[in-house]
Amino acid sequence: MTDRALCVVRAGALTTVQDRGRPGHAHLGVPHSGALDPPAADLVNRLVGNAVDAAVLETTLNGCALRPRSPLTVAVGGAPCPVTVDGRPAAWGAPVRVPAGALLEVGTAVAGVRSYVGVSGGIAVEPVLGSRSTDLLSGLGPAPLTDGAVLPLGPVAGPPARVDVAPQPRPPAELVLRVSLGPRHDWFTAGAVRALTTRAYRISAASNRIGVRTEGPALERAVPGELPSEGLVLGAVQVPPDGRPVVFLADHPTTGGYPVIAVVARPDLPAAAQARPGTPIRFVPAARPRS
């Protein structure tokens, strides 16, 4: 019987298993989780012939190294990075055949933050609440990869895509996020609301899968004190006591007591997942739908 598994030779700074997440459990305090750049994760799955909900690996900055126990097809996308098989250059953004026992090296991202590794059959760790995603906030799902770990793979679902290289958006040099004000923008001064959409911010090195932290002008409160905890959504722009906005990503808490001044349009969040610390960030008003 074929041993369909991946051996982790080098786990990298932070490599996790991710799929489309576990929606529908916020009332239990369980975040959505899932890949921070869903279009990139979906693409590598399509390239290797998987269904889009198959689990992939999400790397952070310095990639990972893997050794399959049986021949398989892989595709690496998301943040551009060098890819090698037994030391020989291989394609990024395209299906690559990796022999059993060969070393697949996903290198350091040359732009962006998170690369995605799709493997034919998908990563078949045990699902939790319907998802195989690692959730760093709640601890649900598999632990982040460690050197020497062995990951089971599912059965091959279909043939790889017939492409040379699939086009993918380049990580942003400037991150522009469309926002709709609310639900607690009235807790801030008019000047603070104006500053959010007119002043420049930068992405902080303290950002992670929970949220993008910013550096820039502090937003002044009009209402003192704190809210009772209330529900939070993906893309919520929460303002903690230091006044610097935080944009919540996939592993965000489901409730919080700091006021939410705005919410980012969901299609803009994949780019936020790929923006490196120091990247300029602008919040711009979302266009209102025509009546």
Specify the DSSP element, H or E, that contains 196.
helix 190-198
Count of residues making up the chain: 291
pLDDT tier, 139 (very low <50, low <70, confident <90, very high otherwise): very high
Number of H helices, E strands in the chain: 3, 20
Instruction: Give the β-pairing of 230-231 and 150-152.
Output: unpaired
- CA end-to-end span of the chain: 62
Q: Does the structure show a pLDDT above 60 at 1?
A: no
Strand locations in the chain, DSSP E? Answer: 5-10, 16-18, 56-58, 64-68, 72-78, 83-85, 88-90, 96-98, 104-106, 115-119, 150-152, 175-181, 201-203, 211-215, 230-231, 236-238, 246-248, 255-256, 260-264, 280-285
Which tens digit of pLDDT belongs to each residue from 10-64? 999 999 999 999 998 888 889 899 999 999 999 999 999 999 999 999 999 999 9
Distance CA 220, CA 226 (A): 14
- Give the pLDDT mean for 113-136: 97
| Structure-token pair, residue 214 | 């910013």
Percent of the chain with pLDDT over 70: 98
Which tens digit of pLDDT belongs to each residue from 215-269? 999 999 999 888 899 999 999 999 999 999 999 999 999 999 999 999 999 999 9
Going by the DSSP 8-state scheme, the letter that residue 131 receives in this structure is: B
Which tens digit of pLDDT belongs to each residue from 140-196? 999 999 999 999 999 998 999 988 778 888 888 999 999 999 899 999 999 999 999
Judge contact between 93 and 48, C-beta under 8 A. no
Tell me the domain boundaries of the chain: 5-152, 175-285
Residues 6+ apart with CB under 8 A from 111: 79, 80, 170, 171, 276
The rounded Cα 237 to chain-centroid distance in angstroms is: 17
16, amino acid identity: T
Specify the DSSP element, H or E, that contains 44.
helix 38-48
Fold held by 175-285: Cyclophilin (2.40.100)
Distance CA 140, CA 145 (A): 14
Look-up: residue for tokens 């965000």?
252
